[in-house]
Amino acid sequence: MSIKPPVRWGILGVANIAVTKVIPSMKNSSNGEVTAISSRSLDRAQEAANKLGIEKAYGRYEDLLEDPDIDAIYNPLPNDMHVPWTLKALAAGKHVLCEKPLGLNAADVMQLESAARDFAQLKFMEAFMYGFHPQWEFVRKTLASEGIGKVKAVRAMFTYNRNVAEDYRNRASAGGGGLLDVGCYGISASRMAFGSEPTKACGVLEMDSNHDVDKGFHGLLAFPCGGTASIYASTKVEFAQSVFISGDRGSITVNIPFIENVDGDVFVDVVRDGKLERNTFVGHTHYKFMVEQFCDAIIKDTEVPIAFSNSLNNMRVLDAFFASDKQNAWVNI
C-alpha cells in the first residue's frame, strides 16, 4: 500500500530515544513528518508535543492508532510491548517501525510472521538504526570486496552504566537486561561481518543483585567458516563501544559503531599491509537515514531495508545465549 509523501508519523509513547533522537530525525527527514504523539498520560504527551512542535497529543495509545491522519507508527515502548502494539498498529492499518529488539524471544517475534501475511500491504521493520550510518556502508563494501581478506574474528563491545529502578531495562518483566538491550548490537554486527549465520553460541550472564535482570554478558559465536565472534555487553559499567573485524589480510576497527551524537563525526580504521587508513564520515546521523529509507519503502511500495528474517535470526542468537547460560554449555542455533 503505497502513499504520497510525506509519510505522516504517530509516536507510541514519550520514550527518551523517541524524543531526543528519532522524532527530530523524522522532522528533519526529506519524506516524513510527525503528526501526533501519545502517552498513557495526556499531560506528558502534550508536554512532548509542545516541546517538539507536534500538532496532536493523545492520552491513550488506542486513540493514536484510530487517527486517520496517521500513516505510520513508531513503537519505542518497553520490549515486552513491542510485539503486541506492533500487531495492534498493523490491525489499525498503520505501517510500523518498531524499536529493537523486535520482541522478547524468537517465539514472541514469530507472532509477527503471520501478521506479515495478513497485512501484506503494510510495512513493518525493526528500528535497528546503526547499520544505516554511511560508515557501515563503507564497512560492508570493504568486506564484500575482500579488502581485508577472509573474516576470521570479530570483537564487539557495547556498555553503559544506568541504575535507575524505574527504567524498564532494569525489570525482567518488561524485557530488561543488558543482553537484550545492547548485546543485540554485537550479535548483529558479527553476523553482518561474517555474512552468514552462526552455528552455535556459548554465553555467560552476570545477574544484577539490585534488579532481576542481567547486568553483564560475555559470549562467543561460532560461524560455519571456522571464525568466531566475541561479544561483551553491560548496563552497569562505563560507557564504551567498539567493533574490531580481523581478516587474513587486514583489519577494520569501527571506533563509534553504534551510538554517536546526532550529526557527529565518526571514523573507521582499516589496516592493510601494516598501513593504517583512516576513513572519516562527517555530519551524518543513522536515525535520519533509517527513517528516510523506511519511508521510501512505504512511498514506493518496495521491500523494507531490514528484512523480518534478519530480525528473527538475531533474536534466535539471543535465545541461544540465554539458553547457553542456563545450561552452562555450547548451544546449537
Shared domain for 292 and 210, answered yes or no, is no
Q: How many angstroms separate the CA atoms of 236 and 145, rounded?
A: 38
- Structural domain that includes position 89: 7-129+288-301
Look at residue 264 and tell me whether its pLDDT is greater than 90: no
Shared domain for 210 and 143, answered yes or no, is yes
Q: Which grid cell is 326?
A: 542456563
pLDDT digits (tens, 9 = 90+) for 191-218: 999 999 999 999 999 999 888 899 999 9
Shared domain for 145 and 165, answered yes or no, is yes
3-class DSSP string for 135-162: HHHHHHHHHHCCCCCCEEEEEEEEEEEC
The answer to the question of residue 217 being in a domain is yes
pLDDT digits (tens, 9 = 90+) for 81-96: 999 999 999 999 999 9
Look at residue 1 and tell me whether its pLDDT is greater than 80: no
188: confidence class by pLDDT, cuts 50, 70, 90: very high
Look at residue 60 and tell me whether its pLDDT is greater than 70: yes
pLDDT value at residue 261: 61
Q: Any idea how long the chain is?
A: 333
The answer to the question of residue 308 being in a domain is no
Shared domain for 98 and 194, answered yes or no, is no
Shared domain for 200 and 294, answered yes or no, is no
Shared domain for 280 and 294, answered yes or no, is no
Q: What is the full DSSP assignment across 56-123?
A: EEESSHHHHHT-TT--EEEE-S-GGGHHHHHHHHHHTT-EEEEESSSSSSHHHHHHHHHHHHHTTTS-
The answer to the question of residue 310 being in a domain is no
CATH code at position 80: 3.40.50.720
Question: Domain total for the chain?
Answer: 2
Shared domain for 68 and 114, answered yes or no, is yes
- pTM for this model (two decimals): 0.95
For β-strands 124-127 and 95-99, DSSP reports them as parallel
Q: How far is CA 190 from CA 133, 141, 229, in A?
A: 16, 15, 6
pLDDT value at residue 284: 78
The answer to the question of residue 1 being in a domain is no
Q: Find the mean pLDDT for residues 102-124.
A: 94
The SS3 of residue 206 is strand
To the nearest whole number, what is the mean pLDDT of the chain? 95
172: confidence class by pLDDT, cuts 50, 70, 90: confident
pLDDT value at residue 263: 59
